[in-house]
Amino acid sequence: MITVDDLIALVQNYNPKANVDLITRAYDYGQRMHDGQVRHSGEPYFSHPIDVAAILTEQQLDDATIVTALLHDTIEDTRSTYADIEKEFGTEIAELVDGVTKLTNLQLSSTETKQAENFRKLFMAMSKDLRVILVKLSDRLHNMRTIRAMKPEKQQQKARETMDIYAPLAGRMGMQWMREELEDLAFKVLNTEGRNSIIRRFITLQRETGDVIKKITSDIEAELNKAGIEAEVIGRAKKPHSMWRKMEAKKIGFSRLSDIYGFRIIVQTEEDCYAALGAVHRRWRAVPGRFKDYISQPKTNGYRSIHTTVSGRDGKRVEIQIRTQEMHEVAESGVAAHWAYRDGVRAENPFAVDPAKWIASLSERFESADDHDEFLEHVKMEMYADQVFCFTPKGDVVKLPRGATPLDFAYAIHTRIGDSCVGAKVDGIRVPLWTRLRNGQSVDIMTAEGQKPQSTWIDIVATGRAKAAIRRSLREEDRERFIKLGRELARVAFDHVRKRPTEKALRTAAEQLGIGDTRDLLALIGSAEVTAREVIQTLYPDLAEKSGDEIDAARAVVGLKPSQTFRRAACCQPVPGERIVGISYRGKGVMIHAIDCDALAELEDKSDRWVDLHWHEGRHPAVHNVSLELTIANDSGVLGRICTLIGEQGANISDLVFIDRKPDFYRLIVDVELRDIGHLHAVMVAMEADSDVASVQRHRDLERKP
C-alpha cells in the first residue's frame, strides 16, 4: 500500500507547493474511516482510494482532486457524512466527494428509462465540476485493473458498463490513454480468448519481423535530422482491443491488418509540425484518405495534432501523429489538462479547453429531447461520434459527427435553414441530401419558402439537433392532420351506433379517458393511440356490447370440446366464412388458422394436435379484426374518404399505422373489425373502386404467429 510520504512525493514531483498538511490529514482521515474494511482481494480497503489518488497524480491534478480521491468512498461506505467532510476539509472538497458518491450510485447500464435519467444526473454532476468525473474515471480504472477478485457475473457487468459508457466518455474528454486502457481491460474480461489470440499473433509477427518499432523509429528520426527538425519520436504497437475492433469493422483477419503500429513525433513549434509532415511524406508514400489536420481544425475537447498514414518498411502501413509538447499534454490529459500543475502553479497550456465551455458544448442539445429515447440518442451521438469539419460558403467552420449529411449541416447553422432546405451543393456540385460529408468539404444549402421537413429526413440525419427539430416540426404538422382524421374516425364510429359526435360527447369522453381536451382526444384517435371504439365503449357501453340476434363471438366455432377455448391466429386472422383448422396448445386452448395459412406447414407432422373445426352459420358480430394494407394517393381528403367508405360498409376501424410516406403516396395498414368473409370482400371492393386507391390487399404477418 502506498504510504502518505510516497503519495506526497508523487504530488510534489509536479507541484512542489502542494498543501502537504491537507493531503496528510485526508490520508489519515480516510485510513481511519475505512479501518477494518477489506476489498474482494483481501487487501485493506483504503488501498483503493490511495491508488486512485496515485492515478490522478499521473495527470498532475490539483490538491483538491487528489484529496477527493482519498475520501471518495467515505460518505458511501463509512460513518462519515457530508457535514463531516465539509467541516474537516471545506465546502469545495465536500462538494466533490458528494458528487463522486452520487455518480457511484448511478446504474448507467440499467433499463433505458432509468439509464436516461441517470445520464442526466451524470451530466448535471459534470457540469457542476468536471473533476468529479475525473475521479470517477480513475476509480473505474483501478477497479478494472483489480477486477479479477470479483465474481465472474460482476466482472461481466462492470466490463460491459466500462466498454459502453466509461471508455467512450474518457475518449470524448480527450483522455485517449485512459480510453485505450479501459477498453483493453474490459476486452480482457468480455472476450478473453479473442484478446489472447491477438497477443499470440502479434508475438509471432514480432518473432518473424524483429523489432519493427525500433527500426521505424530510427528511420523517422533519420529523416527529421536530415531536415534539421529537433523532435522526439515515440513508437508503440496498438492495443489488442484496437486491433480487434479494426478486424471486426473491416471483416479481415490479423494477417491482413495493416496499421498496427503507431508513432508520435513531438516537436518544438507548430511550424515544425508541418515541416515534419513534409519530411515524412517526402520519404514515404502517403495513404490516400488517411490525412487529418486537427491543428487547423481542433476537436472540441482541445485535441490538436496532425494524423497521417504512410506505407513504411516492406509496404506496412504506419500511422503517424505529429504535435508539439503542449499539444501532446492536452492529447494525453484532454479536458483534465485545465487543472494540471507544474512547478507549483497551474499550467497555462494554451490548448487546454475551459471545462465549462466544453461541457456546455457537449450537453447543449440534450435539453431539447422530449423523451428518454431522444435523450439517450443525443447522449450517444454527442459522446461517441468522431467529428468532421465542413465550411460554409463564407468560410465559417461547422463541426459535425462523422456520418453527418447536408441536412445536419443546415440544422447546425439554424433550425429555420434546416426546415426550409430543398437541396445542397458540396464543393460546388449538387448532391442528394443523404450524402455523407467528409472533412474539409464546402457545403452550400439551398432553401425554399414553404418547404417543410419530411418524415423520411429522420433516417437521413445523424445529429441529435437535426432529429429533434424534424420531429418537432412533424409533430406540429401531424397534430392538425391527426385531428382531422380523428374527427372523421369518430364520426364513422358514432354513426355505427346511431349517435352524433357532438362537442359535448367528445369532451365527456376526453374527461372519462383522462385526456386534456377534445382536440387532444381527436389527435390521439387520428394517430391510433386511442381507438374510436374505446370512445364509444366509454360513452355507450351497452351499445358497444349489444349484439342483438347475432351469434355469440365466444361461441362462434363448432367442433370444440366443452372445456376448450379458442383464439384466432394473429398471422392469418381467419374470419367466419373461411375454411379453418384448429391447433391445440397445452394450457392455451385451441388456435384457429385459415386452412391456407403458411404457418401450418411447420405443424404437418403433428396431426395429433389438429382439430377439425368450422364456423357457426348465421350472422356474426363485426368484431373480427383483419389487417388491410393500402396504397393511397397523398392528397387532401383521400384518407378521410377511405375511412368514410369503410364506415359506410358497416365496418369499424380499430387501428391505423403508416408504414411508408412518400410525396406522392402513402402505404398504411388499417385494422378493420368485420363480420365475415363477405363483409371483408365488400369493404375491399368499395376501396378498390376508389380512384385514389392504388392497391388494397389483406395483410398477413407470419412473424405474429403463436
pLDDT in tens, 450-500: 888 887 898 888 887 888 888 888 877 778 888 888 888 888 888 877 788
CA dihedral 393, 399, 400, 402 (to 10 degrees): 100
Q: Across residues 367-395, what is the average pLDDT?
A: 61
For residue 433, pLDDT over 80 is answered with: yes
Which amino acids are annotated catalytic?
76-77
Q: What is the pLDDT of residue 365?
A: 52
pLDDT tens across 98-138, in order?
A: 888 877 766 555 544 455 566 666 666 666 788 888 999 99
Instruction: Report which of residues 617 and 95 the model is more confident about.
Output: 95
Element (H, E) at 584: strand 580-585
Q: Sign of the C-alpha dihedral, residues 327, 332, 334, 336?
A: negative
Higher pLDDT, 76 or 256: 76
- The CATH fold assigned to 194-346 is Beta Polymerase; domain 2 (3.30.460)
**The CATH number of 4-190 is which of 1.20.1530.20, 1.10.3210.10, 1.20.1080.10, 1.10.10.10?**
1.10.3210.10
pLDDT over threshold 80, residue 166 = yes
Binned at pLDDT 50, 70 and 90, residue 354 comes out as confident
Q: What is the mean pLDDT of residues 502-508?
A: 87
Sheet strands (E) in 663-706: 665-674, 693-698
CB 452 within 8 A of CB 473: yes
DSSP-based three-state secondary structure for 514 = coil
User: What pLDDT score does 548 carry?
Assistant: 46
Rama region for 656: left / alpha / beta (φ>0; ψ in -120 to 50; rest)? beta
- What integer is the mean pLDDT of 177-191? 91
In the beta sheet, which residues pair with residue 700?
none
pTM: 0.56
| Predicted confidence band of residue 547 (pLDDT cuts 50, 70, 90) | very low
Length, in residues, of the chain:
706
Q: Where is pLDDT greater, at 414 or 302?
A: 414
Beta-bridge partner residues of 248: none
Predicted pLDDT of residue 234 = 92
Q: CA–CA separation, 62 vs 51, rounded Å?
A: 16
Quote the cell numbers at residue 202: 502479434
| 102-105, long-range: CB < 8 A, 24+ apart | 103/132, 103/133, 103/136, 104/72, 104/73, 104/76, 104/136, 104/139, 105/76
Per residue, what are the HEC states of 30-96? HHHHCCCCECCCCCECCHHHHHHHHHHHCCCCCHHHHHHHHHCCHHHHCCCCHHHHHHHHCHHHHHH
Q: Give the three-class secondary structure for 29.
A: helix
Task: With residue 320 as reference, give the H or E element that holds it.
Answer: strand 317-324
The radius of gyration computed from the CA coordinates of the chain, to the nearest angstrom, equals: 33
The whole-number pLDDT of residue 378 equals 55
- Given a cut of 60, whether residue 409 has pLDDT beyond it is yes
Given pLDDT bands bounded at 50, 70 and 90, which one contains residue 87?
A: very high
Tens-digit pLDDT profile for residues 613-660: 888 877 888 899 999 999 999 888 888 888 988 888 889 999 899 888
Task: Select from 372, 377, 434 the least CA-distant residue to 408.
Answer: 434
**What pLDDT is attached to residue 439?**
74
Residue 425 C-alpha cell reads as 451543393
Q: Per the structure block, which three cell numbers stand in for 528?
A: 391510433
Q: Report whether 188 contacts 241 (CB < 8 A).
A: no
pLDDT of residue 299: 79
Locate the domains of the chain by residue range.
Answer: 4-190, 194-346, 553-615
Q: Residue 127: its pLDDT value, please?
A: 66
Q: What percent of the chain stands above pLDDT 90?
A: 29
585 in helix, strand or coil? strand
Residue 348 confidence (pLDDT) above 90: no
